[in-house]
Amino acid sequence: MERGSVIRKSATDLRVAPNFSDYEGGRAAFSWRAALREIAGAADRVNLAVLAVDRHAAGAGRNRTAFRFLAPGSPARDIGYGELAELTGRFCAVLRALGIGKGERVFVLAGRIPELYVAVLGSLKNGCIVSPLFSAFGPEPIATRMNLGGGSVLVTTDLLYERKVAKARERMPTLKHVLLVAEDGGTTDVPDTLDLATLMAAASEQCETAPTGPEDMALLHFTSGTTGTPKGAIHVHGAVATHWATGKYALDLHPEDIFWCTADPGWVTGTSYGIIAPLLHGVTSIVDRAEFDAERWYAILQDEGVTVWYTAPTAVRMLMKAGAEIPAKYRFPKLRFIASVGEPLNPEAVRWGKEVLGLPIHDNWWQTETGGIMIANTPAFDIKPGSMGRPLPGIDAAIVKRNEDGSLTLIDTPDVEGELALKSGWPSMFRGYLNNEERYRKCFAGPNNEWYLTGDLAKRDADGYYWFVGRADDVIKSAGHLIGPFEVESALMEHPAVAEAGVIGKPDPVVGETVKAFVSLKQGYADSEALRMELLGHARKRLGAAVAPKEIAVLPSLPRTRSGKIMRRLLKARELGLPEGDLSTLESGA
């Protein structure tokens, strides 16, 4: 990554005194125990939703707006902390009346509508484990995740149910209830489902919260690896300490902030920072139902008076691509901090922020498994454009090398590439992959298995800043969304013409990577434009637009290792005209 000149910060750049201004001192003084006590008090009971919502509703924050929901063509809908406490209490009561209890899994599949937020928080109050699913997933990823997670309840909309769930319902044996929201705002009448609005109207807003402790499971976020089914990363109620501390240190939230996290709650950023962290800090969050639109986004930043903006590199690059004329029509006097996550943030994008929005963009790093931001650029400290920043208070990071015998070497020399590792013990660390202990165990190494290995390759410079190098595995990051090649290959293999499938991420200047598939055909099928279009259509219908390949190529056969694994690395090298690397394991003739 290019290392341009450092963006220096001075006190005059800061409109609000930052929460974190002494790097070494802040880290030395920090403890997770104290953080948890500060947010949750000394009680044994910890419930994410109670701390996020009811704590404010019971006090001076009751009338403050928690969420401002924007939707094209409709007036904004504001929900205050008091009303949110009542609605989430009602949702908790709805679940309880249906006999859904602590530890059962509730899946939520919806666009960014108020009911999604109410369902997530209300389920947490009922002690359920919540799994938000991305609404752009197709029927296959939805059914796979619902079944892996053993979902008892699905909250979705009438349209999404009809398009993506109804036909697969008999393949979801654990599903007891489907609660539907009418997309037109009315009520629904769909066989084998219940109308959520009717149930909510009949429910009491007083629902005693389930007794949950810091180690009780709260959230289930699916993520992907190189092989196998998606992995359900388990997060606990005690993660609240990380959500709170990172909201304070990395996003610099202050109670008067208007905060906009553009991520969808179907991905971990949209839950940890689109729902929980801002509520913990009692701020007002903007939620926009619409998809990306440059003009609309600048208008939201201006008209809603956004002060802290958390977005993603793909979105920034799309704004850059839309040109300078649109932002020239808007003013952003309230905006005081911009952060971004999910993919490498190009140095030009960091500087573009300063030129166009008046503020540089602050990159930060984390992943589904970490539950919260681990490494960040924050308001008070200089930015080295292209760097992810430095570890936050409470986080010990290292660059390591895994040795053949399973041991770990910590690389202390600056600027040497290795795998990014984090010392276990922060509260939002995942507690397992659901029903997959072995895959979980493989993520840890070193003395007492204390280092969590992230699967990312990175370097640390002499000043302690971390620089992203790439992934150690084959997962694909497209528009900030992590895609497992295996899931895509499996969907392609279901087509009768496909004998083998290999899927790679192809570099793209805007979305980071696009999904490209290579297939070989079964006997009796011949390559043609029509067949390739049919295969793309097949994948799109099953996987949804967010996951399906954008491009497909037919090869006579795919390169495999002698043990039979498709060599995606080689497909990628050939596609990009890069050196083919070590081919000693390649099956001869491929």
Is residue 342 close enough to count as binding ligand AMP by CB under 6 A?
A: yes
User: Rounded to 5 degrees, what angle do the CA atoms 414, 340, 70 make?
Assistant: 170
Is residue 388 close enough to count as binding ligand AMP by CB under 6 A?
A: yes
- 408-410/397-402 β-pairing: antiparallel
> How far is 346 from 249, CA to CA, in rounded Å?
23
Q: Minimum distance from CB of 61 to ligand AMP (Å)? A: 30
Is residue 367 close enough to count as binding ligand AMP by CB under 6 A?
A: yes
Among 158, 343, 489, 500, binds ligand AMP (CB under 6 A): 343
H-state helical runs in 414-469 = 437-441
Beta bridge partners of 422: 397, 452
Q: Minimum distance from CB of 20 to ligand AMP (Å)? A: 18
Residue number with CB closer to ligand AMP (482 or 531): 482
Is residue 456 close enough to count as binding ligand AMP by CB under 6 A?
A: yes
**Secondary structure element (H or E) that encloses residue 513, with its range:** strand 512-521
Residues 474-513 that bind ligand AMP (CB under 6 A): 477, 482
- 551-554/512-521 β-pairing: parallel
- Written as six digits, the tokens of 524 are 């009796």
Residue number with CB closer to ligand AMP (104 or 456): 456
Residue number with CB closer to ligand AMP (138 or 230): 230
Residues 269-288 that bind ligand AMP (CB under 6 A): none
> How far is 49 from 449, CA to CA, in rounded Å?
32
365: three-class secondary structure by DSSP = strand
Among 196, 219, 339, 341, binds ligand AMP (CB under 6 A): 341
Residues 390-409 as x/- pattern, contact with ligand AMP by CB under 6 A: --------------------
Is residue 126 close enough to count as binding ligand AMP by CB under 6 A?
A: no
Q: Minimum distance from CB of 286 to ligand AMP (Å)? A: 21
**Is the distance from CB of 388 to CB of 365 less than 8 angstroms?**
yes
Among 124, 268, 349, 479, binds ligand AMP (CB under 6 A): 268
Residue number with CB closer to ligand AMP (343 or 500): 343
Is residue 471 close enough to count as binding ligand AMP by CB under 6 A?
A: yes
Residue number with CB closer to ligand AMP (148 or 165): 148
Residue number with CB closer to ligand AMP (212 or 368): 368
Is residue 223 close enough to count as binding ligand AMP by CB under 6 A?
A: yes
Residue number with CB closer to ligand AMP (61 or 512): 512
Among 126, 285, 368, 377, binds ligand AMP (CB under 6 A): 368
Residue entry with tokens 């109410």: 118
Q: Would you give the DSSP letter of residue 356?
A: I
Give the contacts of 177 (CB within 8 A, at least 6 positions apart). Answer: 98, 100, 152, 153, 154, 194
Specify the stretch interacting with ligand AMP by CB under 6 A; choose among 15-23, 37-45, 117-125, 340-348: 340-348
> How far is 203 from 61, CA to CA, in rounded Å?
25
Residues 179-218 as x/- pattern, contact with ligand AMP by CB under 6 A: ----------------------------------------
The alpha carbon torsion through 223, 228, 232, 234 (nearest 10 deg) reads -100
Q: Minimum distance from CB of 221 to ligand AMP (Å)? A: 8
**Is the distance from CB of 467 to CB of 388 less than 8 angstroms?**
yes
Residue number with CB closer to ligand AMP (200 or 475): 475
Q: Would you give the DSSP letter of residue 560?
A: B
Q: Minimum distance from CB of 512 to ligand AMP (Å)? A: 9
> How far is 78 from 68, CA to CA, in rounded Å?
4
Q: Minimum distance from CB of 435 to ligand AMP (Å)? A: 19
| Residue 420 CB neighbours (<10 A) | 26
Residues across the chain:
590
Q: Which residue, among 124, 147, 125, has the nearest Cα to 133 in the 3D structure?
A: 147
C-alpha neighbours within 13 Å on the C-beta side of residue 569: 14
Q: Interface with ligand AMP by CB under 6 A: which residues? A: 223, 268, 341-344, 363-365, 367-368, 388, 454-456, 468, 471, 477, 482
